[in-house]
């Protein structure tokens, strides 16, 4: 199969860089229905620009390209061992080309394999079928939304929704709860794949596989079609909005399947996917490996630009910050302000935060901007180039952030999805601010990075290292200020109250 390798690399590249038409359509509808001028609308504007930049420049839509998951169907007689080898080699090559972030980390040593390949990564499922062609479907689902997957065992009691029994009404409550608990941390607006029944492990798999359905299809099972429609309506009335900023669009898809269960078990498994819903597929000629057809794409329909305007609409009221930032500058900021960062910042995520709890920082963090980001970076000659650099989910750093602000004088933390009460307390006590960048907007933010000035702690792997960056016009929104205000806490409370109203309705 002389074309197999290039076909698989092309599938990975296209999946990582170009959203399928049904997702583009859903995101276009979301952009059109959001109220102009709101924070949600501003976020969607950046998202639209990012989608265009990714497809035009063939860069990853989001820096977190997830754990590549392949669903493969082969005719009887195709050598699946060879096909597995070819997929693994294609994944390694696509990583080398900067289309995938090295995301495969040894769970015992913390060492990144560097090429996304290990014994269990990428994930590949094979099935045989009667057709005379190979089908390879791929989904790239990042860690932020993966962490918001949730499984319920009915009967149970849910926040704001009360008791959920072993029936479709109980299932409805679980799905609504799953969407509510994700807030902005899974980069809303998102989509959910749901499995009713099965066992714990297979239920999660079937839930994830619902994400291989197009967002605009209709469930062939009437009661599930009805449930999907109800969830779409109700979830979009909750007011979570893009990035959890509060707004009209929280969900772009709900896909539900049911599978037989044990009499003793009744699981509802929910796979939450973000707006960067990357899923594509190809059919391959089994003798040559050449692509004969793309799945999810309409060859008659050209890819339309998403953005109505360029990036983030500025009003002139934005506040410019340049490190080193003073306490006075930070105290002047309040929730809702838009800031533009010029100059220097450091990245730091899970490994850096854990390291700083026991070791002094390798750089002076006084007055600094700390960006929760695990970028895609390539070394070209002696220089590092940032290929994708959106924010990661900040709540993972909640156990550390307050101490790091206190001990090292960080003045601004950038991330997405917000942080908790301990960090909010530290912002107030020590004079710092939390800035929400737009999750998934990896190309948009990468073009605002002028230069990699240095890198520390590279032994943690590329995404986890501490990158010293020089940026220009880096836009973010104050969502937690130094006066005890948190947009995230406010939206969670308001949407929780709306969830409770759905329980009574
Ligand atoms: S868009 Fe957000 S949730 Fe999705 S992969 Fe990117 S960072 Fe993760």
pLDDT digits (tens, 9 = 90+) for 3-16: 999 999 999 999 99
Per-residue pLDDT of 324-361, as tens digits, reads 999 999 999 999 999 999 999 999 999 999 999 999 99
Residue nearest to atom 6 of ligand 1 (CA): 440
**224 CA from centroid of ligand 1 (Å):** 28
Residue corresponding to tokens 């493969």: 72
Residue 303, pLDDT score: 81
Residue 349, pLDDT score: 96
**61 CA from centroid of ligand 1 (Å):** 9
**332 CA from centroid of ligand 1 (Å):** 31
Residue nearest to atom 1 of ligand 1 (CA): 440
Strand residues in 117-217 grouped as ranges (E) = 123-129, 134-140, 150-153, 156-158, 162-164, 190-197
Residue 373, pLDDT score: 97
Nearest ligand 1 atom to alpha carbon 62: 6
Residue 317, pLDDT score: 87
Half-sphere exposure of 218 (CA within 13 A, CB side): 4
Quote the CA–CA distance of 465 and 462 in Å, as a whole number: 5
Nearest ligand 1 atom to alpha carbon 185: 3
Smallest CA-to-CA distance from 275 within 361, 334, 188, 200 is with 188
Residue 504, pLDDT score: 65
Residue 193, pLDDT score: 98
Residue 306, pLDDT score: 85
List all residues whose CB is within 6 A of at least one atom of ligand 1. 62, 64, 142, 144-145, 186-187, 274, 276, 390, 439-440
Residue 111, pLDDT score: 93
Task: Return the best residue to mutate from 142, 375, 394, 445 for the ligand 1 pocket (most ligand atoms within 8 A of CB).
Answer: 142
Nearest ligand 1 atom to alpha carbon 393: 7
Smallest CA-to-CA distance from 350 within 331, 373, 367 is with 373
Task: Return the best residue to mutate from 16, 390, 418 for the ligand 1 pocket (most ligand atoms within 8 A of CB).
Answer: 390
Q: What is the pTM of this model?
A: 0.94
Quote the CA–CA distance of 145 and 244 in Å, as a whole number: 13
Residue 505, pLDDT score: 61
Quote the CA–CA distance of 25 and 21 in Å, as a whole number: 6
Other beta carbons within 10 Å of 332: 13
Residues in the chain where the model's pLDDT stays below 70: 310-311, 504-505
**Angle 167-168-173 (CA atoms, 0-180°, nearest 5)?**
105
Per-residue pLDDT of 16-48, as tens digits, reads 999 999 999 999 999 999 999 899 999 999 999
Assigned token pair, 494: 């308001």
Q: Please, what is the average pLDDT of the chain? A: 96
């Amino acid at each position: 199969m002389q074309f197999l390798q290039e076909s698989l690399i092309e599938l990975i590249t296209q999946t990582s860089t170009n959203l399928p038409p049904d997702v583009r359509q859903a995101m276009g509808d979301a952009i059109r229905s959001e109220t102009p001028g709101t924070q949600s609308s501003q976020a969607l504007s950046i998202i639209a620009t990012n989608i265009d930049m990714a497809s035009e420049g063939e860069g990853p839509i989001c820096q977190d390209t997830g754990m590549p998951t392949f669903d493969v169907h082969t005719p009887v007689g195709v050598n699946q061992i060879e096909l597995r080898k070819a997929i693994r080699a294609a994944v390694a090559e696509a990583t080398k080309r900067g289309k995938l972030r090295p995301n495969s980390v040894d769970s015992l040593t913390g060492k990144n394999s560097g090429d996304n390949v290990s014994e269990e990564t990428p994930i590949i499922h094979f099935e045989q079928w009667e057709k005379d062609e190979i089908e390879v479907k791929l989904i790239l689902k990042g860690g932020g939304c993966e962490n918001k997957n949730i499984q319920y065992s009915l009967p149970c009691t849910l926040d704001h929704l009360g008791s959920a029994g072993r029936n479709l009404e109980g299932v409805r409550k679980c799905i609504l709860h799953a969407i509510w608990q994700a807030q902005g941390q899974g980069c809303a607006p998102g989509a959910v794949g749901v499995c009713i029944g099965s066992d714990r492990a297979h239920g999660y798999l079937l839930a994830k596989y619902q994400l291989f359905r197009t967002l605009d299809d209709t469930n062939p099972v009437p009661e599930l079609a009805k449930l999907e429609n109800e969830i779409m309506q109700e979830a979009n009335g909750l007011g979570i909005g893009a990035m959890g900023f509060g707004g009209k669009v929280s969900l772009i898809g709900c896909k539900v399947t049911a599978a037989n269960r044990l009499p003793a078990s009744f699981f509802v498994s929910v796979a939450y996917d973000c707006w960067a819903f990357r899923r594509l597929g190809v059919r391959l000629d089994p003798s040559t490996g050449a692509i004969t057809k793309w799945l999810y794409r309409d060859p008659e329909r050209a890819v339309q630009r998403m953005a109505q305007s360029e990036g983030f609409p500025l009003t002139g009221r934005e506040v410019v910050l340049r490190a080193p930032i003073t306490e006075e500058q930070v105290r002047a900021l309040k929730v809702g302000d838009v800031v533009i960062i010029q100059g220097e910042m450091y990245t730091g995520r899970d490994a850096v935060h854990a390291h700083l709890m026991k070791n002094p920082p390798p750089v002076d963090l006084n007055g600094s901007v700390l960006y929760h980001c695990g970028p895609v970076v390539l070394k070209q000659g002696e220089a590092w180039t940032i290929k994708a650099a959106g924010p990661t989910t900040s709540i993972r750093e909640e156990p550390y952030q307050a101490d790091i602000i206190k001990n090292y004088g960080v003045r601004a933390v950038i991330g997405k999805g917000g942080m908790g009460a301990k960090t909010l307390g530290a912002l107030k006590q020590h004079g710092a601010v939390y800035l929400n960048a737009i999750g998934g907007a990896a190309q948009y933010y990468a073009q605002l990075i002028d230069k990699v000035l240095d890198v520390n702690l590279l032994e943690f792997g590329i995404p986890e290292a501490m990158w010293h960056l020089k940026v220009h016009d880096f836009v973010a929104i104050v969502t937690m200020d130094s006066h005890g205000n948190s947009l995230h806490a406010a939206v969670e409370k308001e949407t929780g109250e709306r969830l409770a109203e759905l329980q009574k309705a």
